[in-house]
Structure 1
Amino acid sequence: MTSETVRKDAVRVLFVDDEFIEFRALKKKIADLSEPRVEVEYSSSIGDALDKIRAARFDLILLDNRLLPNADFRETVPELRGIGYTGPIGVVSTDISGGYFQEFPDYGVDFRIGKDEIDVQSLQHIIREYVHYDVPDFWKDDYSI
């Protein structure tokens, strides 16, 4: 990993969900997350998310499975990829047991997670796995061989 690809500032997350209460719940769950520093921005629709992605850099997108008028991630994720977003996208849903969730890699999705599974530890794990940034010293033992 070169120094150009390593993040030294905050990890920027775009949370896309048509329920603002879900965004509030996420912010509350991760309020104690101090490392890495995370900035979460909210979009209520795929259209709004596309505008925000065109205007700013995001390191990670957490996308609600169902956003009206789209059916599910099989329609929304290709729209995000279609404008050139190459970062990680995670599909978030109340229920990820549907058979079509097995197709997620075919649509440009990096991972899926239940809304009830998102907390400080899971978000740290997702960031470790999918976002390039300056790893804190106290995490380096986790990565040594």
Structure 2
Amino acid sequence: MKRAVSQRSAVNVLFVDDEFIEFRSLKKKIADQTEPQINLDYAQSVDDALTKLGDVKFDLILLDNRLLPNSDFRESVPKLRGSGYTGPIGVVSTDVSDSYFQQFPDYGVDFRVGKDEIDADTLQHIIREYVDYDVPEFWKDDYNS
């Protein structure tokens, strides 16, 4: 289900990872991305994310697979969903090939992506796929071809 975002507002993305350096890395990778404009916020834990969800409306959550004290997305995502968050959640991991990743839809996860795959183009694709917002005029030819 896509979440609606107007063209004038930025896409609010919450990146949840216990390693701050991962957040800094992603922020650098998407620094030049202007369309859509992204407000990237950081939470170090699920509890921190839950607090932020109470304060800000996020359009997308990127969640590290393994966070302490939860073992993996099978424990952390239900907590986020239990808070009432209905937007898209993507699980980010160094290795997304483990067999338990096949269960991700059962736990409220919309997609999974490798940490090495995330860059400005990938994030733009994820937003196009999972977040509904007004497409800029100069993109319309791409969609109507």
Return the TM-score normalized by structure 2: 0.94
**Unaligned residue ranges in structure 1 (runs of 5+):** none
Query: Match of 2:132, SS?
Result: coil
Partner of 2:106: 106
- Measured in 1, the distance between the counterparts of 2:5 and 2:63 equals 24
- Measured in 2, the distance between the counterparts of 1:56 and 1:39 equals 11
Partner of 2:77: 77
TM-aligned CA deviation for residue 140 of structure 1: 1.5
Structure with higher strand content: 2
- Give a deviation string over 1:29-65, Cα, whole Å, max 9, x none: 0001011000100000000000000111000000000
- Measured in 2, the distance between the counterparts of 1:112 and 1:28 equals 21
Partner of 2:6: 7
Partner of 1:65: 65
Figure out how many residues of one structure are paired with residues of the other and give that number. Answer: 142
TM-aligned CA deviation for residue 132 of structure 1: 1.2
Partner of 1:44: 44
- Measured in 2, the distance between the counterparts of 1:74 and 1:133 equals 29
TM-aligned CA deviation for residue 6 of structure 1: 4.0
TM-aligned CA deviation for residue 21 of structure 1: 0.2
Alpha-carbon RMSD across the aligned residues, in angstroms, is 1.3
Partner of 2:124: 124
**Unaligned residue ranges in structure 2 (runs of 5+):** none
- Measured in 2, the distance between the counterparts of 1:106 and 1:7 equals 30
- Measured in 1, the distance between the counterparts of 2:141 and 2:125 equals 15
Residues 56 and 99 from structure 1, CA distance in 2 versus in 1: closer, same or farther, beyond 3 angstroms? same
- Measured in 2, the distance between the counterparts of 1:117 and 1:74 equals 22
- Give a deviation string over 1:67-93, Cα, whole Å, max 9, x none: 000010000000010011000000000
Return the TM-score normalized by structure 1: 0.94
- Measured in 1, the distance between the counterparts of 2:5 and 2:55 equals 21
Letter in 2 for 1:41: D
TM-aligned CA deviation for residue 7 of structure 1: 2.1
TM-aligned CA deviation for residue 136 of structure 1: 1.1
- Measured in 2, the distance between the counterparts of 1:108 and 1:143 equals 29
Partner of 1:17: 17
Query: Match of 2:12, SS?
Result: strand
Question: Does the aligned pair in 1 maintain the 2:5–2:11 contact within 8 Å?
Answer: no
